[in-house]
Structure 1
Amino acid sequence: MNPSPAPAEGPRPWGRGPQGRVAVLTLALGTGTASVLALTYLHRGLPTPGTAALVWLPVLALLFAVTEGFVIHLRVRRGSHGMTISEIPLVLALIHLDPLLAVAARTVGGGLGLLLLRGQRGLKLGFNLALWGVQSTVAALTFTALGGAGLPRDLTAWLVIYAAVLLADTVAAILVTAAIALHDDPGEWRRLPAALRGEPFVLITASLGIVAAIGMAQTPWTLVLLGAVSVALYLAYRAFVTQQQGHAQVDELYAFTRALDGSRDTQALIRVVLEQARDQLRAAQAQLVVPSFDDKPAARVRLDSRDRLVNTVLARGPADDWWTPARDGAPVLWRADPGQPEAPDAPPRDGLAVPVPLGDEVGVLIVADSLPDVGTFQPAHLRLFEALANHASVALARAHLVDRLRREAEEKEHMALHDPLTGLPNRRHFQALLEESLESTRHDDHGPAVLLLDLDRFGEVNEALGYETGDAVLQEVAARLQQSVADRGQVARLGGDEFAVLLRRARTVVESVDLGSDLVRELERPVQRGPLSLNARASIGIAVAPDHGDDAETLLRRADVAMHAAKSSHTALRVYLPADDQNTPDRLALITDLRDAIDRRDLLVVFQPKLDPHTGDVTGAEALSRWHHPTHGSIPPDQFIPLAEHSGLIRPLTLHVLESALRRCAAWRRDGHPLHVAVNLSANSLHDPTLPEVVARLLAQSGVPAEALTLEITESTIMANPAGAKAVLDQLHGLGVRLSIDDFGTGYSSLGRLRELPLHEVKIDRSFVQRVAVDHRDRAVVRSAVQLGHALDLEVVAEGVEDQETYAYLVREGCNLLQGFLISRPLPPDEFAGWLAGHRAPNVVQGRFTA
């Protein structure tokens, strides 16, 4: 048997890298063989060859050389074991030559065969010469040690020959495995049993050698017959091995597809593809050119000599020109010009390249530099390569899709848990971190602390300098907080200008206060924004577990209570005190009762008419909610409305009032009263992106035209977030709904924004209307509001009209609609219907209201 390892790759420093390690092994084998032979003949002396030996020596050397032209390669992963019929001349050498001469004939004759018939050079030739030296030395010394001498005339002599040849072949297989392991993969030792599959063939060729030796003792013509039998045996066994390797190749293809189906990880799949392509095509190198995906540049992924994946950005050079057509979908079978000079940037000796569809893009799968036992790549290899690439493309495209979906899911999860402006955890994530911290300290004496921070007068920065400046301030605040807290805790942005800090283990309240003081000092440093120097002052509330609560919701709520107390008292920093908490048991019970009342629709919706003072006609009514508590009696709106806003009940309350108002408005219009109805919206309603959809649905259900619905929004609500409010107001305006500013005159900086909003009317606040008869300043405000409204083509409504003098003044100033107790108090639905049916246009005499 003639084993041969996979070829070395490029030149490496001596003793390092695959080539260096094989070179060291080659030197050790040569040195070891020479040492063993020297010790053997140190006492015996050098042999003196007789006439027969001198005849046999060149004949056997020639036979050893000729047998190198008859090689059967047994594949063992990337390496191969080359089987020849060299055991026949080896048996003859054992019988007719001294061990030293037998080693010489094997080494010299085999070397000539490798050089002339198989074209081996360099380290590979050197390793095989050293290997044959070891193999023939083991065979000769074993034969001599077991008493073998002369012709094998009995069974014992045959067994001695068999033992010598088999032992020599086993040693050679082990050494070849060692060379492949040093060159490619230490795991090659697991495949040693596969390298010994040729032992039956060794026994057959050894038997032929014994027959040849016995036959040639009778007549030299036996050698001719032996040659014919050997060639026939070689052809038969080669056909058998080819068939077996064909079956093995099919099995490997099935194993390849199973390996692809077994993994969804892109890197693992690329490794499988490159390993299988390299091993099945018997190539020295394999690589995958990956097209650009998701704004990432094209890349080259190759399998290095140690089976590691090496990723590099694709930078094509002259050596890549040969596979370029594969990027356009054309498979490439490449053979280099035999005369081309070797250079680092030269194309390979031969190669295969096939396109690999990956979604909408095309990659390229490449193998290059076929192993010597393959010869040059042929069209059959290209067809096999295309089959591998077809399977690989499906698996890689699926894995890429899975990876992209996984990345998108991770990005969405990150976006769901982090603030997009600052990158800090958001409220949801912060609450989860707090719950986790509480759980981990559940049995400790000290728990986490929550510091809730709100910037003071931050709305003025947005209003005066714009949201871009406001965002820059928030980002600077986030950076400062993170730098100050460092590894002591976690910073989060809960929304708007509100931040939170989680101190994971606060040993004392003082420790939390010290951290809060550090944060206050850090934020007091001016924030530079171009030529401007801005101050970002903050109010901080502190709640510490377990003293102030042992669950996340309670700690956050009580930190919020402390923060608002700090803001109200202008102290910058405050620890939670029960006295600051308005959420008393009675208040919480009232919230529960309010939720039940809304669910049962126990809240009454009443209607206060609006009058056109110039015609005396009732044009509409404002819907107002009233709550009669079964225990506490009538609860004013200025008490239960804030409760609803604070507890998150304002949305269902607003929807209840809106639905009831539209249903009553539809009834009025069916009775011949084409009135409009007005409904108040809270600040939270303008932050609800689904509000326009809900309004559209309720209008459709009631059959009330959109222009018959007026939605009243307080001035302060709009001014708190003009951009956000405008987005929702634009959608409502698109539905055809009328929009009104309620409590006009009580907000700040609203005059400049009036013309930017899609409004239909302004409603002057009752605080200015009720004293116009006696206070010249209120008269000035009302006069200005009426003139401004008319200048902007808006209707002007005055509420709180309670006496004839106020009525007369508002008529003279030109108010379009009036509303107040002088006209009617808010009435329950049935009473309003009766009042409306009996109402007649009043007499309007010199600004006086008379029925």
Structure 2
Amino acid sequence: MLFAAVLAAVIWPLQPGQPNWAVFGLLLVFHIAALALPLHLEVQRQGILVSAGEIPFILALFYLPPFWVFVVRALAGLVVYAYRWLSRKIQLHKAVFNLANTCCAVAAAALLAHTIGVGAASDPRTWVTLLSSAMVYLLVTALFLTAILSVTQGRRSLDELLHSMGSSLIIGGINAIVGILILLTLSATPWALVPLIVLLVLVFAAYRGYSNLVRQRRALADLNDFTQSVAQAVQSNRLIDIMTHRLREMLNAEVATVWLRREKRFPAILLSAYMDSEGLLDTTPVPRELLDSVLASGQPLLVSRKIGDPAYREQLRAADGKDAIIVPLRSGKIAYGCLAVANRLGGDLNGFGPDELALLETLAAHAGVAVENSRLVDRLRFDAYHDALTELPNRRRTMAVLEQSISITVPGEIVAVMLFDVDGMRDINDSIGHASGDKLIVEVGRRLKEAAPPAAHVGRIDGDEFAVVLRMPDTAAAVELAAEIRGALQQPCLLGSLNVDIDCAVGIAVHPESGDNADELLQRADVATQTAKNVSSGVQVYNAGLESGSVRRLGLATDLRRAFDNDELHVYYQPKISLGTRQLVGVECLARWRHPTHGDVPPEDFVPVAEHTGQLGRLTEFILRDGLSRVHGWDGEGHRLNVAVNLSPRTLVDTDFPQLVAALLDEYRIEPPRLTLEITEDGMVGAGGKAPETLRRLREMGVRLSVDDFGKGYSSLSYLRRLPAQEIKIDRGFVQGMATDEGDHAIVRAIVDLARHFRMTVVAEGVESEMTLSLLSEIGCDIAQGFYFSRPLPPDRFAAWMAAQQGPGGDGRRTGRLRAV
């Protein structure tokens, strides 16, 4: 204000004298109207209040002496800002600053106009002088505002001001040009003032109407967009994140908040989306008393500097808030939380009103329905970070705790990650049901929580895997504790009427020796767990040597792609013999890989690699095509053989696989019943105990289906009755032990009797002795294969083997006992 007074004293003697008081009065009214009734523009959801004050300012520069230009603008500003302060639309210090800023800018512009000189209204030089003075007014105003913002609000607010300054200068320039046009009109006849006033009133009213219409249409579009966004967020479990950010954008607020009250085991949730933050923060400028009030009453609340209960306004002012809307979130008639927006952007004159309150109520109704229908009330509170079955922290929470733990280094301590992998869960699920398996998982979680130290974090990170994260003095202490916890878990568990033994393998990774981040530590604990399954103690600490197997599998993935192109993959054939006639009836196709560096790679190594690298389909087609083409060729030589191919359960997920099989059978002219596809029991029985649709289609085609490794999986009458198979292949472990173990002999006999009851063919694999062969014949087994007859052979050697089994007449029948090769 002092600087403004100095400028006023400077311009006072420039052109002394009294103004035309009628003109002075009209210009004063015009200035007050222009300042008091700004136009509201919205650009990219940012509200801009635009004053038409440059128009009367241009007229004042032309009609009044410099000092009286200063006086008329100062008086108009004093009237407008005093009214806004008295009506609590603006704070006193802001009113004083705005008035002083206006006075300084007017004095500088008036001084420039007097220095250059103002001539006749029709003189273009006069236009340039007036337009230049208006630009100086705008620039000085922006300069003072830039200075004050850089001091009070920092660099970010300054950048925002500079970003919007261009728009202000353009609008101000347009207003100045309009003022010059009005000046030219008035210079022709003073009576032009009447239609000009009427025109300005009509334009102002038309714009207000148009602006309201645009806001209504935008509100409808925003509502539709919000509904769709909420629906998508429900599917992606990001409801709070998406909902708060969309609310903040739609209502042009500095912050949007979701608050859910505490219920039972679930803690209260308070998350806010701020204007310059992509994530969510657990703070809000909305006073807690206002949130509690809305939740208790179930009624929405609008609070600003002049709207709402005085106590609420004082609480908002104490929290340094400008205005806020809070509405309840309801499930039926019960309010369980609140939505709130606070501090509308666009300056002190741009605040929330009844329209925004109605819009937020509508949005809250849609959000409440989404939350209720998807049952996200509980999920948002608890399930986001906890396992639904055990109520232990889930993988996400465990990873966050681990990341936080390793971020703090404590001398003399390590952060240990113990990964407990429960053994035998599949067998339990398959034999006594998934419900019993779930009970066992819950019991394991309970025992882990009890056995672990109080400071330890216990979480369930996968189906049968639990993690314990804690600080320990050293690795040896971690191993000792892991062994103690494992011992506590090994106590029998009563499931119904059965006592089930629990065992687990424990892998340990420690920070910083085993890794630098949470993902790495957990992955290396998993590597250690796999090794722990093969050590007597059941506990293994990670070391770099354990990675060699994983690294080798990673290398095999790349080499496998090259193996297809370099003909490194081959199909071997193992004969299948009818025990009734001792004749060759078929072959089983077995893939073999001769790696140029590693030598022979066993199928148990490269088949999982194919499964996890998307090459399984190519491998399966390669084996099928080779097997069917060989059988077709042997048909031409008088050897009519059936062919069997092993399938991975993952292949059954491919709905196009039956079409591939049909095409290959047609291509090589092989009848479907001559092809047998062998699938393990867990692949044969899908989710819910039902066979996959792919198997049904294969069986309808006439392809035979065989349950591979029978006896290791489900092995129950109910499942066997539902299996879509015509053949059972007894696991080699039982077959090889039946000659020396009465238990294995009894199991094989029971399987054969069971299969005969269901009219299924029985194949015994792993036959390696004459005694085993005799026992299988006695109990009525149909087909056998194993090293007693022949190892898997490449096609040329298998052809030689077949030739050696033929009788003198070449009819394909044996002339003595079959000989191993």
> TM-score of the superposition, structure 1-length normalised?
0.49
CA distance in 2, matches of 1:170, 1:849: 114
CA distance in 1, matches of 2:90, 2:394: 54
Is the Cα–Cα contact under 8 Å of residues 744 and 762 in structure 1 kept in the other structure?
yes
Partner of 1:180: 87
Once the two structures are superposed, the pairs formed by residues 771-790 of structure 1 within 5 Å of their partners are: 780-790=746-756
Once the two structures are superposed, the pairs formed by residues 73-222 of structure 1 within 5 Å of their partners are: 74=33, 173-181=80-88
Once the two structures are superposed, the pairs formed by residues 250-649 of structure 1 within 5 Å of their partners are: 252=211, 265-268=245-248, 271=251, 305=307, 307-312=323-328, 448-459=415-426, 461-463=428-430, 465-475=432-442, 477-478=444-445, 493-503=460-470, 508-510=474-476, 512-513=478-479, 516=482, 520=486, 538-548=504-514, 555-556=521-522, 558-560=524-526, 562-563=528-529, 566-567=532-533, 571=537, 573-576=539-542, 583=549, 597=563, 600-614=566-580, 618-628=584-594, 635=600, 640-644=602-606
Is the Cα–Cα contact under 8 Å of residues 437 and 448 in structure 1 kept in the other structure?
yes
Seen in structure 2, the aligned counterparts of structure 1 residues 482 and 689 have a Cα distance that, compared at 3 Å, is: farther
Q: Deviations over 1:218-276 (max 9, x none)?
A: xxxxxxxxxxxxxx999989746633532552685599599989999543455369xxx
Q: Deviations over 1:270-324 (max 9, x none)?
A: 5369xxxxxxxxxxxxxxxxxxxxxxxx99686762642221358999xxxxxxx
Once the two structures are superposed, the pairs formed by residues 691-730 of structure 1 within 5 Å of their partners are: 691=654, 693-694=656-657, 696-697=659-660, 699-701=662-664, 703=666, 707-714=673-680, 724=687, 729=692
Once the 2 structures are TM-superposed, how far is the Cα of residue 469 of structure 1 from its aligned partner?
A: 3.6
Q: Which runs of 5+ in 2 are unaligned?
A: 1-28, 40-67, 104-190, 227-244, 254-297, 308-321, 334-352
Q: Deviations over 1:136-172 (max 9, x none)?
A: xxxxxxxxxxxxxxxxxxxxxxxxx999999988765
Seen in structure 2, the aligned counterparts of structure 1 residues 646 and 441 have a Cα distance that, compared at 3 Å, is: farther
Partner of 1:796: 762
Letter in 2 for 1:242: V
Query: Is residue 828 of structure 1 aligned with residue 794 of structure 2?
Result: yes
Secondary structure of 2:88 counterpart: helix
Seen in structure 2, the aligned counterparts of structure 1 residues 574 and 270 have a Cα distance that, compared at 3 Å, is: closer
Identity of aligned residues (%): 32
Seen in structure 2, the aligned counterparts of structure 1 residues 192 and 662 have a Cα distance that, compared at 3 Å, is: same
Secondary structure of 1:755 counterpart: helix
CA distance in 1, matches of 2:38, 2:212: 18
Q: Deviations over 1:335-375 (max 9, x none)?
A: xxxxxxxxxxxxxxxxxxxxxxxxxxxxxx97699xxxxxx
Is the Cα–Cα contact under 8 Å of residues 644 and 650 in structure 1 kept in the other structure?
no
CA distance in 2, matches of 1:499, 1:539: 11
Secondary structure of 2:87 counterpart: helix
Letter in 1 for 2:603: I
Seen in structure 2, the aligned counterparts of structure 1 residues 78 and 312 have a Cα distance that, compared at 3 Å, is: farther
Once the 2 structures are TM-superposed, how far is the Cα of residue 605 of structure 1 from its aligned partner?
A: 1.2
Is the Cα–Cα contact under 8 Å of residues 430 and 713 in structure 2 kept in the other structure?
no
Which of 620, 640, 643 is the aligned partner of 1:677?
643
Partner of 2:708: 742
CA distance in 2, matches of 1:822, 1:316: 73
CA distance in 2, matches of 1:195, 1:586: 76
Secondary structure of 2:724 counterpart: coil
Seen in structure 2, the aligned counterparts of structure 1 residues 480 and 612 have a Cα distance that, compared at 3 Å, is: closer
Once the 2 structures are TM-superposed, how far is the Cα of residue 678 of structure 1 from its aligned partner?
A: 1.5
Is the Cα–Cα contact under 8 Å of residues 760 and 794 in structure 1 kept in the other structure?
yes
Once the 2 structures are TM-superposed, how far is the Cα of residue 454 of structure 1 from its aligned partner?
A: 1.5
Secondary structure of 1:608 counterpart: strand
CA distance in 2, matches of 1:531, 1:76: 86
CA distance in 2, matches of 1:657, 1:597: 14
Once the 2 structures are TM-superposed, how far is the Cα of residue 789 of structure 1 from its aligned partner?
A: 0.9
Once the 2 structures are TM-superposed, how far is the Cα of residue 76 of structure 1 from its aligned partner?
A: 7.1
Once the 2 structures are TM-superposed, how far is the Cα of residue 602 of structure 1 from its aligned partner?
A: 1.4
CA distance in 1, matches of 2:495, 2:738: 45
Once the 2 structures are TM-superposed, how far is the Cα of residue 452 of structure 1 from its aligned partner?
A: 1.2
Once the 2 structures are TM-superposed, how far is the Cα of residue 645 of structure 1 from its aligned partner?
A: 6.3
Q: Which runs of 5+ in 1 are unaligned?
A: 1-69, 81-160, 197-231, 274-297, 318-364, 370-388
Q: Deviations over 1:596-626 (max 9, x none)?
A: 6567441321112324455676442101234
Seen in structure 2, the aligned counterparts of structure 1 residues 781 and 240 have a Cα distance that, compared at 3 Å, is: closer
Once the 2 structures are TM-superposed, how far is the Cα of residue 712 of structure 1 from its aligned partner?
A: 2.5
Seen in structure 2, the aligned counterparts of structure 1 residues 646 and 429 have a Cα distance that, compared at 3 Å, is: farther
Q: Deviations over 1:786-831 (max 9, x none)?
A: 2211101211123355677765665564433333456555332244
Seen in structure 2, the aligned counterparts of structure 1 residues 250 and 569 have a Cα distance that, compared at 3 Å, is: same
Seen in structure 2, the aligned counterparts of structure 1 residues 430 and 830 have a Cα distance that, compared at 3 Å, is: farther
Which of 625, 646, 663 is the aligned partner of 2:626?
663
Q: Deviations over 1:700-735 (max 9, x none)?
A: 3564665443233456x67xx965595565532432
CA distance in 2, matches of 1:558, 1:315: 45
Seen in structure 2, the aligned counterparts of structure 1 residues 185 and 775 have a Cα distance that, compared at 3 Å, is: same
CA distance in 2, matches of 1:559, 1:783: 43
Letter in 2 for 1:660: I
CA distance in 2, matches of 1:464, 1:701: 37
Q: Deviations over 1:449-498 (max 9, x none)?
A: 32111224444543455213433443565577679889967655443211
Larger mean CA deviation between 663-672 and 177-186 belongs to 177-186
Partner of 1:157: none
Residues matched between the structures, number: 558
CA distance in 2, matches of 1:250, 1:613: 95
Once the 2 structures are TM-superposed, how far is the Cα of residue 767 of structure 1 from its aligned partner?
A: 5.5
Is the Cα–Cα contact under 8 Å of residues 733 and 739 in structure 1 kept in the other structure?
no
Is the Cα–Cα contact under 8 Å of residues 628 and 664 in structure 2 kept in the other structure?
no
Seen in structure 2, the aligned counterparts of structure 1 residues 175 and 705 have a Cα distance that, compared at 3 Å, is: farther
Is the Cα–Cα contact under 8 Å of residues 435 and 551 in structure 1 kept in the other structure?
yes
Is the Cα–Cα contact under 8 Å of residues 624 and 679 in structure 1 kept in the other structure?
yes
Seen in structure 2, the aligned counterparts of structure 1 residues 582 and 817 have a Cα distance that, compared at 3 Å, is: same
Is the Cα–Cα contact under 8 Å of residues 431 and 552 in structure 1 kept in the other structure?
yes
Once the two structures are superposed, the pairs formed by residues 835-846 of structure 1 within 5 Å of their partners are: 841=811
Letter in 1 for 2:756: H
Is the Cα–Cα contact under 8 Å of residues 450 and 543 in structure 1 kept in the other structure?
yes
CA distance in 2, matches of 1:836, 1:238: 111
CA distance in 2, matches of 1:796, 1:267: 66
Query: Is residue 731 of structure 1 aligned with residue 694 of structure 2?
Result: yes
Q: RMSD of the alignment, in Å?
A: 6.6
Secondary structure of 1:669 counterpart: helix
Q: Deviations over 1:738-770 (max 9, x none)?
A: 332334456685456322322221123456556
Seen in structure 2, the aligned counterparts of structure 1 residues 781 and 849 have a Cα distance that, compared at 3 Å, is: farther
CA distance in 2, matches of 1:429, 1:677: 51
CA distance in 2, matches of 1:165, 1:595: 85
Letter in 2 for 1:246: A
